[in-house]
Amino acid sequence: MQATITDKEILKDIEKFEKLLAEYLSGELDEDSFRVFRLNNGIYGQRQGGFNQMVRIKIPYGAVNADQLDMMAHIADTYSRGWGHLTTRQNVQFHFVQLQQIPDLLRDIGSVNMTTREACGDTVRNVMGCHLAGACPFEVLDISPWAEATFRYLLRHPYAQRLPRKFKINFSGCATDCGQAMFNDIGVVAVGRPREDGTTEPGFRIYIGGGLGANPHPAQALEPFTDREDFLPTVEAILRTFDHFGNRFNKLRARLKWLVDELGIDELRKRILRERQLLLASATWPGGIPEAVLAAGDAPAGMSTTGKVTKLGVPVTIRMKSEDDPFTRWEKANVYYGVNKGTVSAIAHARLGDITSYQFRELASIVRDFDVEMRVTNRQNIAIRNLNKDQLPELFGRLDAMDMARPSAELAGDVVSCPGADTCNLALTQSRGLAEDIGKALENAGLADVGGVRINISGCTNSCGQHHVADIGFHGVERRVNGRSAPGYQLLLGGHLGDTEVEFAQKALRLPAKAAGEATVRLVARFAEERELGETFASFVTRAGGGKKLAEDLKDLDVWPTPEENPDYYVDFGETGPYVAEVGVGECAAS
């Protein structure tokens, strides 16, 4: 499968990895030094120990082509378990890869211009972007080439390598914020400002210091408007300021959000803008419009004058009818119209974010046969772009045959989960198992098609499943009941992201893991019955008196039978023996 690697820098990365791996295996290189090097190259150890590794491949702003999809099928079959996992940060992960096989895997993905470099560790992570950028009728700019330029500029950049802590950058093309800018170290939203001649100048509003984890922080605006020529210098100035003043002695308080707390947002702004002002003297000054933007252009898609226009990312009520055929149900839920050239975008559903090698290959065939683009979404699905309406019936048939045509995009049944205790050292619970259980419970209750409800699950407090920004969020906890450990979850309600605002979900109630599905069904059912026209779930929670008030009707679910009465309550999803909270040394994003 290997082909010639044309990127010399990728080849150098692989050769260095191979050399240091050999030194580590022979005992010449110590564990700590190799671990930091391994993480900076996107390779995590798993909770299973030994040489089991998770490999994270960066997919900048989610854009993936047919050759890369074929390669991921090869990776899944050759090195992993026959499938890969899409993450909420538009990466693709493969688990149970043996450490000794990593150099071969890196050569394979390098042959299609992919890399794991800086996908993990204290680096600038994968640069994210709205998966429908360039197709959204409401965007101010197509942020795709800007995300590409940022990725290219920061990959292997000296200030992107050994930061105080990991660093995340997200792009959105408009205030709807489908790219999730508002809880990242740097969140970029395309905005316009009026010129004297009455026209509008497109540019950016850059937000800083956001983050999730156990202590979520909203990002705050650096300045009202950053022009396009100053964009990359501003990004570098933020990185340099973080590198200079970030906490290198306490990893638990090392993110940029903690620097906001320590210095105050006004002082941090002052230091960043001063750094940008003097950056012109640096050899790395990246001013001007980046080449990637000049080559591709960044003109917005524009509003359609005909056809249905959907404001992407905004919760909607989808009216499914009992007589709707499968194609109609899929089109209502998963298809977006509204681009000025008449193109159409559709979502292919990946159950729990997993894609098999067969599905990877079929997706590659769709790219070639339909002449379309694909992007990984931040809800662990695949966006298929540049379609036309006449192609939709055939596309649906192809997706249906590969089990990716579930009508669930942005609906209650589209549950997001981190990998959880399946592979992660820090996870307390099998979050993937709960996600599957909730999905089935909603299907059985006829509620999977309810719109405007996002459900996210994390196996611990660190929010890799982004439970803090979900309408209904869960994170795993250990419960001590009847003298035994048992799997439980903290329920959070009312998270909201959009209109350049973020509201973090509030704790509502702790539940047994095996009762979380019933709790979700009750919440979604009540929302579907009581919501007012156009009401969001967050507004519904507020109208109901808040998360804790809304959860009062669920308290009967926080009841624990004895192990003799119901032993299932003391066994986690997908496990066969009694629950044990096994937390190891973290290598993931939370550590």
CA torsion sign for 418, 422, 426, 429 is positive
CATH of domain 416-570: 3.30.413.10
Calculated CA dihedral for residues 345, 372, 105, 13, nearest 10 degrees: -90
**Is beta strand 186-194 parallel, antiparallel or unpaired with respect to 169-172?**
parallel
Q: In the prediction, which pLDDT does 586 show?
A: 57
Q: Within 531-576, where are the H helices?
A: 537-543, 547-550
Under DSSP, the state recorded for 442 is: H
Percent composition of the chain: helix, strand, coil (DSSP 3-state, to 5) = 40, 20, 40
What Å distances lie between residue 7 and 39, 107, 144, CA to CA?
21, 11, 22
318 CB-contact burial (10 Å; exposed 0-12 / middle 13-18 / buried 19+):
middle
Residue 437: strand pairing partners: none
Residue 431 token pair:
């979050």
**Is beta strand 472-481 parallel, antiparallel or unpaired with respect to 455-458?**
parallel
Query: What is the chain's pLDDT, residue by residue, as a tens digit (591 residues)?
Result: 555 566 889 999 999 999 999 999 999 999 999 999 999 999 998 877 778 999 999 999 999 999 999 999 999 999 999 999 999 999 999 999 999 999 999 999 999 999 999 999 999 999 999 999 998 888 999 999 999 999 999 999 999 999 999 999 999 999 999 999 999 999 999 999 999 999 999 999 999 999 998 899 999 999 999 999 999 999 999 999 999 999 999 999 999 999 999 999 999 999 999 999 999 999 989 999 999 999 999 999 876 544 444 444 444 455 566 678 999 999 988 998 865 556 689 999 999 999 999 999 999 999 999 999 999 999 999 999 999 999 999 999 999 999 999 987 778 999 999 988 888 888 999 999 999 999 999 999 999 989 899 999 999 999 999 999 999 999 999 999 999 999 999 999 999 998 899 999 999 999 999 999 999 999 999 999 999 988 999 999 999 999 999 999 999 999 999 999 999 999 999 988 888 877 655 565 433
Task: Measure the CA–CA gap between 3 and 107, rounded to whole angstroms.
Answer: 8
Does the domain formed by 8-110 have CATH 3.90.480.20? yes
Does the domain formed by 326-401 have CATH 2.40.50.100? no
Task: Measure the CA–CA gap between 439 and 175, rounded to whole angstroms.
Answer: 30
Domain segments of the chain as ranges: 8-110, 138-296, 326-401, 416-570
Q: Residue 362 is inside which H or E element, if any? A: helix 357-370
Q: Do domains 138-296 and 416-570 have the same CATH topology?
A: yes
Amino acid at 194: P
Q: Which residues of 252-262 are buried (b: 16+ CB within 10 A; e: fewer)?
A: ebbbbbbbbee
Residue 173 · residue 130 · CB < 8 Å: yes
Q: Which residues contact 158 (CB under 8 A, 6 or more apart)?
A: 284
Q: What predicted TM-score, i.e. pTM, was given to this entire model? A: 0.94
The total of other beta-carbon atoms located within 10 Å of residue 584's CB is: 14
Q: In the prediction, which pLDDT does 570 show?
A: 96
Q: What is the CATH superfamily name and number for domain 138-296? A: Sulfite Reductase Hemoprotein, domain 1 (3.30.413.10)
